[in-house]
Amino acid sequence: MGRNNIKTIVINIPCPSSFEHLAFKLSGPKPLVTAVIYRPPKPNPAFSPDLAEFLTQLCSISPSVLLLGDFNIHVDSNDSNTATELLDILNCFNITQHVDFSTHKKGHTLDLICTTGIAISNLTTYDLSISDHLALIMDILTPTPLIKQKEAHHTIPEYQVHTPLLPLLPTG
């Protein structure tokens, strides 16, 4: 199956002041809304309400949401109020945060993959040596659109049908 039967539609959601994003929907029997986020590292009190509003809009489009990106929040730190707020917001939307290992060369989990309504597997990192962040690699388990088969009408040229089929049938 080629990728040309997977349609993407950009979702235009106004960009909040506290983070950047790109959101799109993948067509299929179970549409998948995907959003990539970049949150600058400096603290911004508007982040939590901005994210909650953003997730409200995403989750109203489809029950299957993939949220990923560089959140620049140490979610592995138990004493981070920002991390606690983020995880609480995700929990309110029944969104699971899957990354439980360091994604930054200096330690800490800053890059996240979060889902609801879909399953992922084989989540791992890869060092591309172009950033202080590690690339996240995963498999996404989601139904793909069915390929519509075109009816094929073939004409067999006369020169290809010159051998009778009867001698090929068993006798007796």
Asked if the structure places residue 112 within a domain, the reply is yes
> What is the pLDDT at residue 158?
45
Asked if the structure places residue 31 within a domain, the reply is yes
Total domains in the chain come to 1
Asked if the structure places residue 156 within a domain, the reply is no
The model's pTM? 0.77
Strand-pairing partners, residue 32, are 26, 64
Residues of the chain above pLDDT 70, percent: 75
What is the average pLDDT score of the chain?
A: 79
Asked if the structure places residue 167 within a domain, the reply is no
Asked if the structure places residue 171 within a domain, the reply is no
Terminal Cα distance for the chain, rounded: 45
Task: Tell how many helices (H) and how many strands (E) occur in the chain.
Answer: 2, 8
Give me the CATH number covering residue 102.
3.60.10.10
Asked if the structure places residue 11 within a domain, the reply is yes
**Residue 62 lies in domain:** 3-147
> What is the pLDDT at residue 156?
45
Cα gap 116→30, rounded to integer Å: 12
Asked if the structure places residue 172 within a domain, the reply is no
User: Which residues in 115-145 are b (16+ Cβ under 10 Å) and which e?
Assistant: bbbbebeeeeeeeeeeeebbebebebebeee
